[in-house]
């Protein structure tokens, strides 16, 4: 029977550590703000944005909210980012994704100064992460590393299978696990014999974006299972990419949905903001 990894508790510990750090930095005269930009009013995005603003308030950093209408043009958004790039007190800039279809996501991400790219999505941040140079780490994968470490799950030498190859989770996740000396396999929708490959994992990280896709037949007895998915099932209840009830008895550790990976993403965003204030870059 698996240990249930409590992401809510671990993220709270991290936020409490950050709160202390922020107060020490304030005493040294080091402060800064996070600018949070949302274009349109997608309800899920509004929840995430609210949670990010609340987390800033909790750890004691200022957040500046930019709630822009759906019809905002790409040019207007790029102009705002440029302004924020130049504003000294703004230490982090976050543009909530997805953006409306008429705005090019890549262009927007590339417009954010890498020094303020607290999401870690800019190609320069991704490049630095790839070669192990200093820079902001992508929040969800960095949060998963913290979940594993703080749950005393050894990574070095283990076989980690990542299911999914998105730019914001799958790919950076694989790179960070490699940095932690895991042996890493990345799988995706074109992978053959997916259950067989997943069954080789000591650590199985699932970010496929398909509700309850991974059942017990994908999991080796004693594996640690990390579920990045978040969906609503037919009864409007939150669920992940993993069939929790079916997989739990086989696993040694598993993250629940909600309360697993989700809260860690915000904790690591706060960590990046504090890093940015600290470095005063």
Does residue number 96 form part of the binding site for ligand GUN (CB under 6 A)?
yes
Structure tokens that stand for 66 in this block: 């930019």
| Given 65, 97, 197, 230, the residue binding ligand GUN (CB under 6 A) | 97
Instruction: Determine phi and psi for 20, rounding to 5 degrees.
Output: -65, -40
Does residue number 119 form part of the binding site for ligand GUN (CB under 6 A)?
yes
Does residue number 227 form part of the binding site for ligand GUN (CB under 6 A)?
no
9 tagged catalytic:
no
Instruction: Determine phi and psi for 32, rounding to 5 degrees.
Output: 175, 170
Residue nearest to ligand GUN (CB): 97
Looking at the DSSP bridge assignments, the partners of residue 159 are 183
Q: Taking the C-alpha atoms of 226, 260, 22 and 123 in order, what is their torsion angle to the nearest 10 degrees?
A: 40
Does residue number 56 form part of the binding site for ligand GUN (CB under 6 A)?
no
| Given 35, 61, 94, 270, the residue binding ligand GUN (CB under 6 A) | 94
CA distance 267 to 59: 10
Quick check: 174 and 186 in contact, CB under 8 A?
Answer: yes
CA distance 168 to 138: 7
275 tagged catalytic:
no
200 tagged catalytic:
no
Identified catalytic residue from 6, 21, 96, 146: 96
Smallest separation, CB 114 to ligand GUN (Å): 15
- On the question of a cis peptide bond just before residue 258, with omega within 30 degrees of 0, the verdict is yes
Stretch of 68-76, 93-101, 198-206, 230-238 lying at the interface with ligand GUN (CB under 6 A): 93-101
Smallest separation, CB 139 to ligand GUN (Å): 5
What letter would DSSP give residue 196?
H
Q: Which is nearer to ligand GUN, 49 or 182 (CB)?
A: 49
List active site positions: 52, 96, 119
- Chain residues binding ligand GUN by CB under 6 A are 94-97, 119, 139, 265
């Amino acid at each position: 029977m698996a240990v249930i990894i409590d992401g809510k508790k671990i993220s709270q510990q991290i936020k409490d550590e950050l709160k202390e750090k922020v107060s020490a930095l304030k005493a040294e005269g080091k402060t800064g703000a996070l600018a949070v930009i949302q274009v349109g009013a997608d309800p899920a995005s509004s929840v995430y944005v609210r949670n990010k603003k609340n987390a800033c308030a909790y750890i004691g950093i200022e957040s500046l909210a930019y709630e822009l209408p759906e019809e905002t043009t790409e040019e207007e958004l790029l102009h705002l980012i440029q302004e924020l790039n130049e504003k000294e007190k703004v230490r982090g800039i976050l543009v909530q994704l997805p953006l409306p279809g008429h705005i090019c996501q890549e262009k927007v991400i590339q417009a954010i100064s890498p020094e303020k790219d607290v999401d870690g999505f800019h190609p320069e941040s991704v490049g630095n992460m790839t070669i192990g140079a200093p820079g902001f780490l992508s929040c969800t994968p960095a949060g998963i590393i913290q979940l594993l470490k703080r749950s005393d799950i050894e990574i070095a030498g283990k076989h980690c299978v990542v299911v999914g190859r998105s730019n914001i989770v799958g790919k950076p996740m694989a790179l960070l696990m490699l940095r932690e000396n895991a042996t890493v396999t990345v799988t995706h929708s074109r992978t053959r014999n997916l259950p067989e490959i997943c069954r080789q994992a000591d650590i199985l990280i699932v970010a496929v974006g398909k509700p309850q896709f991974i059942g017990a037949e994908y999991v080796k007895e004693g594996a640690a299972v990390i579920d990045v998915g978040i969906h609503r099932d037919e009864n409007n209840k939150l669920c992940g990419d993993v069939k929790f009830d079916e997989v739990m008895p086989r696993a040694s550790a598993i993250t629940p949905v909600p309360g697993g990976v989700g809260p860690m993403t915000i904790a690591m965003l706060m960590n990046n903001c504090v890093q940015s204030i600290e470095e005063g870059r």
